[in-house]
Amino acid sequence: MDKKLQIDLQKVPQHVAVIMDGNGRWAKGKGMGRIFGHKNALTAVRETIQSANEIGVKAITLYAFSTENWNRPKLEVNALINLLLTSLKKELPNFQENGVQVKAIGNTNSFPKKFQKVLSEVINATQNNSKITLTFALSYGSREEIVNTIKNISKKVVNNELKIEEIDEKVINNHLYTFNLPEVDLMIRTSGERRVSNFLLWQMAYAELYFTNVLWPDFRKSDFFDAIIEYQNRERRFGKTSEQIETSNE
Ligand code: FPP
């Protein structure tokens, strides 16, 4: 049976976060270098965005480059940046055609100017698209984001723009890089690793975590739909009892 038909379109996660892992191992398995793996990751990226869009996911966030990734060999870092740059340029018509609004979170100003320019061009060109928001986490680390949030809130307190008593979860949400995105409902990580690796820690407080052994370059539409089906089969209780959930669904 077509996997898509098993999906309840009324219960689709609003925001899906993805840790695209396993490019290096995929390449190694083929007797190739790590960069070969990254280059072969693009079909998976495209299929993930397409399938999310097809079923009505409103936001998808891809962990494309972590703050820790700067510690990789320079050759690999440069290859990743170039790959991101050429892919962003190449995919722009596709984004426009499919109503994809591109955003970025993280320390994007640590990237080369040339990259920053292309990124802001794509962000500006797609800003009025509204079918799905595609956020690239670039030089992103969740703890760094939280530190940055605390600094910005503290500045407002010092400047008397905000009172300490006014600080609540909403204020914190509004100061995170993800301030205009819905909470993460589902996090997918490929390659069999079962960690969240400093990705959207605050935003994933109630997310369902889905781990698959598929290596990222092999990840396809049907793998994405498997994750959605599994998500829909889980009971999200947000601290309540099963009985309370059942009553509220009646
Ligand atoms: C993890 O595989 C992947 C990355 C560090 C980078 C993610 C980048 C891409 C998927 C390429 C381009 C992306 C876009 C959005 C155009 P790994 O190298 O850690 O694999 P390993 O764990 O097997 O070594």
Measured distance CA(39)–CA(125) in Å, rounded: 25
28: CATH? 3.40.1180.10
Three-state DSSP class for residue 210: strand
| Cα angle 172-201-62, degrees, rounded to a multiple of 5 | 110
Active site (annotated) includes residue 168:
no
CB 84 near ligand 1, within 6 Å: yes
Ligand 1 geometric centre to CA of 38 (Å): 6
Between the alpha carbon of residue 106 and those of residues 114, 115, 140, 145, the distances in Å are 17, 14, 4, 7
CB 217 near ligand 1, within 6 Å: no
Measured distance CA(131)–CA(57) in Å, rounded: 9
Residue 125 buriedness (CB in 10 A; 0-12 / 13-18 / 19+): middle
- Checking if the pLDDT of 250 tops 70, the result is no
For the chain, how many structural domains are there in total?
1
Ligand 1 geometric centre to CA of 167 (Å): 37
What does the block give as tokens for 173?
């949400």
Between the alpha carbon of residue 228 and those of residues 9, 87, 104, the distances in Å are 10, 26, 24
For residue 148, tell me if it sits in a domain.
no
Beta strands in the chain (DSSP E): 15-19, 59-66, 100-105, 132-140, 186-189, 208-211
pLDDT tens figures, 135-182: 999 999 999 999 999 999 999 999 999 999 999 999 999 999 999 999
CB 64 near ligand 1, within 6 Å: yes
Q: Which of 170, 160, 97 is nearest to 129 (CA)?
A: 97
For residue 5, tell me if it sits in a domain.
no
For residue 241, tell me if it sits in a domain.
no
Active site (annotated) includes residue 69:
yes
Give this prediction's pTM.
0.94
Out of 53, 69, 129, 173, which one is annotated catalytic?
Answer: 69
Measured distance CA(130)–CA(101) in Å, rounded: 6
pLDDT at 245: 76
For residue 51, tell me if it sits in a domain.
yes
Of 59-73, 134-148, 170-184, 226-240, where does mean pLDDT reach its minimum?
Answer: 226-240
Q: Which of 170, 177, 182, 175 is nearest to 150 (CA)?
A: 175
CB 22 near ligand 1, within 6 Å: yes
For residue 147, tell me if it sits in a domain.
no
The domain of 132 spans 12-141+183-231
Ligand 1 probe mutation, 18, 19, 23, 190, most atoms within 8 A of CB: 23
Q: Which of 121, 54, 60, 59 is nearest to 91 (CA)?
A: 121
